[in-house]
Chain A
Amino acid sequence: MKKILEVRNLTKIHGRGCPQCIDSTGPEADTNICPHCGSVVAAYGVSFDLHAGEILGIMGESGSGKSTVVKTLYFDDAPSAGEAIVFDEARQWNLFALNAAEQRWLRNHRLGMVYQNPHLGLNFNVSAGGNIAERLLMSDLAHYGEIRERARRLLARTEVLPERMDESPKKFSGGMQQRVQIAKALATQPPLLYLDEVTTGLDLSVQARILDLILEIQQELNTAMIVVTHDLGVIRLLAGRTIVMKYGRIIESGLTDQILEDPQHAYTQRLVASAL
């Protein structure tokens, strides 16, 4: 299988940091706030690989650093240390060594992101179609007719009524907004897609349809995805492999079935027991 993303020792510390930060935080210390300097160790030593067409789940409670990992990989946030390489068709991109213009290019052409809150991913001052147009324009497509046609197709694919493409997403339900976000993220057919708590806060039937949509897309386009969630159901349905995080560290990783059926770490055992 072709490797698409390699992350090594990704670390993010909010605050000035001190030499004792790493030793005095983490699951054993039961905190991610350094008692010596007050810095927050949001993620430390996170390493994993992702292959083409694979869905990797990142699971953990609030504040475990799962969103931090995805945000740094999407350039929303700069990491404190670590390395990440995206393997493109022709070349490799060393994510944290790129300049701003290269980051923007990669973000627009090769990456996609769906946020939990549609306000982060969508511009509510322009129409749903305009949101998709924006992403297509970012990837240097400047033909109005073609932009329109592709926006229509994408919205149809994500089951948003094409008749409503010229309306503002303000007027849409939460589930529809999430679909527009997915359509926007898919506009440039990125080989790598990040999904940050996409179904959190939606009602169950809408959740199910969005998860179906994600699976269909994965099978159709062979898109590799990182799914961040605290919902074990989502992990079970989507992810082939799973990482469990707590206080910024990976405490367990492996095949999803294995983790859910035979959790090794005490925290994972408690998590699985409480949910099932």
Chain B
Amino acid sequence: MNPNYELPLDEADYSFGFLDEFAKREVRRTILKAISIPGYQTPYASREMPMGRGFGTGGLQLTLSLIGQDDTLKVIDQGSDDSVNAVNLRHFVELTCPGVNTTERTTEATLIQSRHRIPEVDLTESQVLILQVPYPDPLVVVEPSEAKRKVMHGEGDYSRLLTKLYEDIVQFDEITISHRYPTRINGHYVIDPSPIPRYDVPRLYRSKALILLGAGREKKIYAVPPYTVTEPLAFDDVPFRTEDFRDANGHRRACGRCGATDSFLDELIAEDGSKAWQCSDSDYCNQRLAELAQEVSA
């Protein structure tokens, strides 16, 4: 490159959304393809981002390609808006997308980038949920060769995955996959729905919001389009079940902060070794607290 060459002033800065327009266009095209073939892992040229791969670069590239100035973004990390990953990603978007609103309220957001949780509040048709994915291929546990996995996906051959579930039941009397539960999308492709807990898997079923999943390191994008039928792999006589948060007496545990008994709970261990349970979705918990405070004052 000519060392005396200077970029024109209007191109010297980063473009809106950090990625250049060609990169954004490529990601958008990939998204369209992913939506057209629900559950298919569409390859794309994952760009270098100013953060390590594995820290949500796949999700971030989706967000940056989709976001516009009239969008409101919410970033969640394990249900929380305030953990390091969420805060940093949100700052990055604020920095590179001037004019974009960010929020912690699920209901206000138009774009939600999330790591490992689906928000408790039902999403709407006008929202898009973007999940960060570390390992996109559910078959990787049974087949090391990607070429063979592609053939297995193409032919809908998931018997070896089911064999793994069989072995689980034989050994432990139940299926031991706690997150990344293999889920069949629209009757064909089985996806790894990112490390969302089993509790969140039924919420993929006919979701009103478009769900996009991006794996930056593995360079794959796949989608669960709105109102798509999703079905976790299971046996006819051993149905899929979710975490139920019952204590030893069979009572459903409640959130120690807001008292909710209908949310996914995190187990917290205090310094003295005692355990407490609290909503994993911090926005849901805060909203409930605010409502309760209103009721008390009224």
Residues of A within 8 A of B (CB): 100-101, 104, 123, 126-127, 129-130, 133-134, 137-138, 142-148, 166
Contact = CB atoms under 8 A, between A and B. Distances in A.
B267 interface: no
B155 A143 contact: no
B151 A100 contact: yes
Nearest to B163: A134
Contacts of A146: 237
A184 B159 CA distance: 14
Interface string B158-169: 011011101101
A134 B235 contact: no
Contacts of A147: 166, 235
A8 B231 CA distance: 45
Given A142-B235, A148-B170, A166-B170, 19 more contacts: A101-B155, A104-B155, A126-B164, A126-B167, A127-B167, A129-B166, A130-B163, A134-B163, A134-B166, A137-B162, A137-B163, A138-B157, A138-B159, A142-B236, A144-B237, A144-B238, A146-B237, A147-B166, A166-B171
Interface string B222-244: 00000000000001111000000
Q: Which of B162, B163, B235, B238 lies at the interface centre, i.e. has the most chain A CB atoms within 10 A of its CB?
A: B163
A165 to B, nearest CB: 9
A123 B166 CA distance: 14
A143 B237 contact: yes
Contacts of B235: 142-144, 147
B46 to A, nearest CB: 29
Given A126-B163, A126-B167, A145 B237 contact: yes
A132 B250 CA distance: 37
16 contacts: A101-B155, A123-B160, A123-B163, A126-B163, A127-B167, A129-B166, A130-B166, A134-B160, A134-B163, A137-B162, A138-B157, A138-B159, A144-B169, A144-B235, A144-B237, A148-B170
Interface residues of B, number: 18
B102 to A, nearest CB: 45
Contacts of B238: 144
A129 B162 contact: no
Interface in B133-171: 151, 154-155, 157, 159-160, 162-164, 166-167, 169-171
B167 A137 contact: no
Contacts of A129: 166, 170
Which among A127, A133, A145, A146 has the highest number of chain B CB atoms within 10 Å? A133
Contacts of A137: 159, 162-163, 166
A217 B178 CA distance: 43
Interface string B181-192: 000000000000
Query: Interface centre among B151, B166, B236, by most A CB within 10 Å?
Result: B166
A79 to B, nearest CB: 20
Contacts of A148: 170
Contacts of A145: 237
Contacts of A143: 235-237
A220 B171 CA distance: 33
A149 to B, nearest CB: 11
A148 B167 CA distance: 11
